[in-house]
Structure 1
Amino acid sequence: MLPSFLQQPSGDRREALQYGSDQSGRLPDLLEKDVWVVWGLQTIYGSRLGPSLTFKGGTSLSKAHKIIDRFSEDVDLTYDIRRLIPAHTESGAIPATASQEKKWRARIDVLLPEWIETEFIPTLQSALTAQQLTAEIKPYASAGKGEDKVLLRYPSALDASDSAYVRPAVLFEFGARATGEPHAVMPVSCDLASVDALSRQFSFPAAAPLVMSLSRTFWEKATAAHVYCLQARLRGERFARHWYDLAEIYRHPHQAVFDDHAVAALVATHKSRFYAEKDATGIPINYHDAVGGGLTLIPEGAALVTLRDDFERMTNAGLLAENAAGFDDVMTLCAEIQSHANRVFSRPRT
């Protein structure tokens, strides 16, 4: 049996990371973080927590779907709302009224942090202790509105990096306002494990998480981009990742995304109830219009400039491959997506 990479002395890990970087072209600190991302997934989905959680977002696109070549430090997980508040969801996973949504959200805002504290953190801590790993796991700045975060700080084998972004930590972000469906089990492995010399020398974490479908991931991101275009307001750094991810999905075989009208409608219904938004003029945003022939993916004026700046910061942080499409190319592809989606979804279905 091969020795565990994470249990090796820091000097041996550093040497392996540098070698893996030379062979793969990926930065060693990104490769190191990737190992811990997969370790987290392995621990979660090897425990009794796994069946309740769906792995989603950009990291799932790169690690499971293998659609994008973009590094993400965050692990986005949806706790199945039906498991968290079963008494409220017997008749369905989406509240019938705004009043009901407030009651559900209030329960989620109480129960999700409790579950994180009493179930999630102890599960990861037990695994760290059993494997004699010295990483630290703790709650991280509750985001409210049914979402919470946990930070896993690990001991880096590398010298201190000047990068303000690539820090030795993995952030687990939770939401509990959806089922996560449709989803399926998919294999996930470490990037270092693809380097033959290293895979013959060490064992690396591997996982089989329950992963959100490509169709739902696409429409979650497309509607998020649609909201930005109508509000002209950036929601934090690296929001431009949504446009990059949409473009990469479109560059791969993607027709199933546009054939899946049921998932598009599901996302619209879900966001209409749980994520109601208004545009820049104060008019409520209609998600069903977005998935019914009225999708907007290209911002205008200052909003486009802001998005470009955000994209360039993401690129400069080393989060994209050296040959990744630039901002203008991404916008060109997103314009094609917008046109194609609006043409397909405005047609009467037979």
Structure 2
Amino acid sequence: MPEDAYLKLSRRERFELLDAGSRAAGLAPAILEKDYWVCRTLDVLFALPDLGQHLVFKGGTSLSKVFRLIERFSEDIDVSFHRDFLGFGADRDPEAASGKEQVRRIDALRDACTACIRESLFPALKAKLIDELPSDHDWSIEIDAQDAQTILFHFPQAGSVGLSYIQPSVRIELGARSDHWPEARHEIRSILGESFGLPLGLATVQALAAERTFWEKATLLHAECHRDPSQSMPARYARHYHDLARLAMSPVAPAAIADVDLRKRVVVHKTVYFRSKWARYDLAEPSTFRLVPPKERFAELERTMNPCGRCSSLRGRRCRKCSGHWPRSKRRFAACRPD
């Protein structure tokens, strides 16, 4: 079966294939369907002429699809532009400036990224989808009205039974503030394709190393430990605790912890691009690095670590083997602190 055979199937045939795949994989058809479209979207993105080679796939979905380190189903694709592609390398790199000039460069970088999405990437992605998807498929694509750096692809549904936490759309979150070292080329495949041994939803992506993602998430949670207790935690943050707890169980954690230069590079990067008066990145050092937040946050995290909500296990159940229970996460964090 050729790689794009799924697209040539009728809606009923796609429904039947997803139903059979559901029985084979032990996953809901809605999960298989969205996973296929996540892979397909990544394939199209990274194959875009003059654009795809300047992108890097990162975040929780990369931990699942590329490195198979977590089972949490993510609703978004986190993709970043290389800054030099947008004209902010070498002498224009914000890290090469300081004070107000650094702030101006970061603001200009954000504006350049937004303009590139609006004027280049979004039109190219839409045109490619129009070219690839059959005309009788019901789908749409738009730039999120609430976030000019996010694209929403509402994929053509096959009529699979939905789940409350699985939206029939792929959320492509773009940006240009991320550092992309180290990165490498990887092949991924949809769960549907794996279930039948067929080339369905194949994609080649450039992905951020899992060790880098470990430190990105660890420094994020370190900063969160220093947030004013009177302020609420950002929405959907439980997923970062889930992911880090899973990474703590893998060979990635000791490898990342041993890479002192990588930790220092992430801390410097966060200090420049994600500046915060209360984050205390200066304490992101051995013996003062914090991962477990104040006790006042525990109940909030326990409530939000719910696989039927935004932080979800692929198999739609409370994930007892990873960080489904907040106390287990705390113990794993203690084991991976860079002492």
Check 1:57–1:249 CA distance in 2 against 1; reply closer, same or farther (3 A cut).
same
Q: What is the CA-CA distance between 1:40 and the residue it aligns to?
A: 0.9
Q: How many Å apart are 1:132 and its aligned residue?
A: 3.0
How many Å separate the matches in 2 of 1:83 and 1:331? 44
Among 239, 242, 252, which residue is 2:240 paired with?
A: 242
Task: Tell me, in whole angstroms, the C-alpha distance in 2 between the residues paired with 1:317 and 1:259.
Answer: 29
**Structure 1 residue identity aligned to 2:95:** I
Deviation, 1:263, is 1.3
Aligned pair partner of 1:309 in 294, 299, 303: 303
Partner of 1:173: 173
In structure 2, the partner of 1:332 is 328
Question: Which is worse superposed, 94-103 or 263-272?
Answer: 94-103
- Structure 1 unpaired stretches of 5+: 279-283, 344-350
Q: Report the Cα distance in structure 2 between the residues aligned to 1:158 and 1:249, rounded to whole angstroms.
A: 35
- Correspondence for 1:348: none
Cα drift, residue 330 of structure 1 = 5.3
Alpha carbons of structure 1 residues 162 and 21: separation in structure 2 relative to 1, 3 Å:
closer
Matched with 2:222 is: 226
Partner letter of residue 272 of structure 1? T
The question of 1:297 aligning with 2:286 is answered: no
TM-score, normalised to structure 2's length? Answer: 0.88
**Native 8 Å contact 1:298 1:335 kept in 2:** no
Q: Percent identity?
A: 27
Check conservation: 1:238, 1:313, Cα contact below 8 A.
no
Aligned length: 329
Aligned to 1:85: 87
Distance 1:179 1:162, change over 3 A: closer
Aligned-partner SS, 1:90: helix
Aligned partner letter, 2:291: L
8 Å Cα contact 2:29/2:161 also seen in 1: no
Letter in 2 for 1:130: D
Query: Does 1:62 pair with 2:64?
Result: yes
Q: Matched residue of 1:210: which SS?
A: strand
Q: Tell me the TM-score normalized by structure 1.
A: 0.86
Partners of 2:170 and 2:324 lie apart in 1 by: 31
Query: 1:195 corresponds to which residue?
Result: 195
8 Å contact from structure 1 (residues 60, 211) kept in 2: yes
Aligned partners of 2:59 and 2:311: how far apart in 1?
19
1:288–1:182 distance in 2 versus 1, CA, 3 Å: farther
1-side partners of 2:337 and 2:322: how far apart? Answer: 22
Per-residue CA deviation, residues 286-337 of structure 1 (Å, 9 max, x unaligned), is 2142244322111233311111111126568753434543657554344443
Amino acid corresponding to residue 119 of structure 2 in structure 1? T
Distance 2:336 2:162 in 1: 43
Rounded to whole Å, the distance in 2 between the matches of 1:298 and 1:19 is: 42
> Given residue 140 of structure 1, which amino acid in structure 2 is its aligned partner?
D
Q: What amino acid sits opposite 1:125 in the alignment?
A: K
Structure 1 distance, partners of 2:324, 2:67, is 25
Instruction: Give the Cα–Cα distance (whole angstroms) in 1 for the partners of residues 146 and 103 of structure 2.
Output: 18
- Structure-2 separation of matches of 1:83 and 1:4: 34
Residues 17-28 of structure 1 correspond to what in structure 2 (within 5 A)? 17-28=18-29
Distance 1:74 1:101 in 2: 30
CA RMSD in angstroms comes to 2.4
CA distance in 1 between counterparts of 2:166 and 2:243 reads 20
Matched letter for residue 290 of structure 1: A
Displacement of 1:52 after TM fit?
Answer: 1.0
Q: Measured at CA, do residues 59 and 245 of structure 1 come closer, stay the same or move farther in structure 2, by a change above 3 Å? A: same
2:140 counterpart residue number: 136
Is the Cα–Cα contact under 8 Å of residues 36 and 191 in structure 2 kept in the other structure? yes
Could you tell me how far apart the structure 2 residues matched to 1:316 and 1:80 are?
29
Pairwise CA distance, 1:67: 0.6
Q: Distance in 2 between matches of 1:306 and 1:317?
A: 13
Partner of 1:38: 39
The one-character-per-residue Cα deviations of 1:166-188 (angstroms, maximum 9, x if unpaired) are 11100000121133221111111
Question: 1:140-159 to 2 correspondence within 5 Å?
Answer: 140-143=144-147, 148-159=149-160
